[in-house]
Amino acid sequence: MQEAINFNRLAYFVAVVDAGSFTRAAEYLGITKAVVSQQVAKLEQEVGTTLLMRTTRRVQATEAGLFFHARCVSILREAEDALGELAQGRTRPKGLLRITAPYDYGTSVVVPLVTAFSQRYNDCKVELNLSDKMVDLVADNMDLAIRVGWLADSSMQARRIGSFRQLLVGSQAFAGEIAALSAPIDCAPLPFVANNALREPLEWTFTRSDGEVRSVRFKADIAINTTPAVMEAVRQGAGLSVLPDFLATAGLLAGDLIPVLPEWQLPSGGVYTVYPAARFRPPKVSVFVDMLIAALKV
């Protein structure tokens, strides 16, 4: 067989055998009789075997044609099933979803969503990698990364789906000192817990609603490399620190943490979904991202 078979011709051949004539097969396929006859003749040339015996009254498969017809039916059914599975896969999530996220954001925001996603979609399994290190999505075979802060240039596809505020906070142990503060510079003498997971944990720029900008460089009494641990140190009275709102809000509502100079704002950060470069994304990824966006809007 010198040339590859045109698999579209298999469907024409099967239709002719099933219908018993070129005319009825053409009507079933919605094309002309001449096209069906031509395509089946080319198929016979390609396989080098007579597949049909043609008479004025009827078309009948040869012995080789009957054998080939059975195999073609199986091939076409498998193709139909495969296309059906692909169509279903475009709407129903299935398979293993591998996600990476920062430890703090992943613990407080992503873990509850992973739980809800897993309960809703039984055909999906989830692997969540929590790490403050930049994970290589391609090398580590990740479907999705959730990154928080300020996104560096990358060859990956990224989408900003939300934002978070940074808050200067302290504990009740410093309530008196915090109440006496009137400007960001007044905070500098107070104990400060530095977050070494940040690129610049000590230099902070504050902006007031009237547009005034002030920068302060704190002196670290304690330096810790994870944000949840920084928050716990602040709660225990170690000093002031800057925390993202998605971690600090619960403590502020409970009164364990108190805001420092709330009239002065720190720069907001972004929440991003980052994907390996690909033209299409499977439903498991799209559905999970939709759930994440919905949760951020609440």
Residue 279 has pLDDT above 60, yes or no: no
Q: Region 290-298: what's the mean pLDDT?
A: 87
Minimum mean pLDDT range among 24-38, 85-99, 219-233: 85-99
Residue 58 carries which DSSP code? -
Q: What is the pLDDT of residue 158?
A: 87
- Greater model confidence, 87 or 44: 44
H or E stretch at 264? strand 264-265
Q: How far apart are CA 175 and CA 208, in angstroms?
A: 22
Q: How far apart are CA 130 and CA 142, in angstroms?
A: 12
pLDDT over 90, % of the chain: 64
Residue 188 has pLDDT above 90, yes or no: yes
Residue 149 pLDDT grade (very low, low, confident, very high; cuts 50, 70, 90): confident
Residue 108 has pLDDT above 60, yes or no: yes
What sign does the CA torsion over 168, 171, 172, 174 have?
negative
Contact 104, 226 (CB under 8 A): yes
The answer for residues whose C-beta is within 8 angstroms of residue 243's C-beta and 6 or more apart is: 166, 167, 169, 227, 230, 231, 234, 257
**Cα–Cα nearest to 177, from 167, 192, 157, 162:** 192
Q: What is the pLDDT of residue 6?
A: 79
pLDDT in tens, 218-231: 999 999 998 999 99
- Greater model confidence, 108 or 86: 108
Q: What is the pLDDT of residue 2?
A: 46
The answer for residues whose C-beta is within 8 angstroms of residue 279's C-beta and 6 or more apart is: none
Residue 144 pLDDT grade (very low, low, confident, very high; cuts 50, 70, 90): very high
H or E stretch at 269? strand 269-275
Q: How far apart are CA 47 and CA 10, in angstroms?
A: 11
Q: How far apart are CA 181 and CA 113, in angstroms?
A: 39
3-state secondary structure of 260: coil
Q: Region 247-272: what's the mean pLDDT?
A: 94
Residue 1 pLDDT grade (very low, low, confident, very high; cuts 50, 70, 90): very low
Are β-strands 124-130 and 95-101 bridged in parallel, bridged antiparallel, or unpaired? parallel
Q: What is the pLDDT of residue 171?
A: 96
Q: How far apart are CA 103 and CA 136, in angstroms?
A: 16
Q: CB-based burial of residue 262 (10 Å sphere; 0-12 exposed, 13-18 middle, 19+ buried)?
A: exposed
The model's pTM: 0.63
Torsion angles phi and psi, residue 93, rounded to 5: -65, 140
Instruction: Share the mean pLDDT of the chain.
Output: 89
Residue 87 has pLDDT above 70, yes or no: no
Residue 140 has pLDDT above 70, yes or no: yes
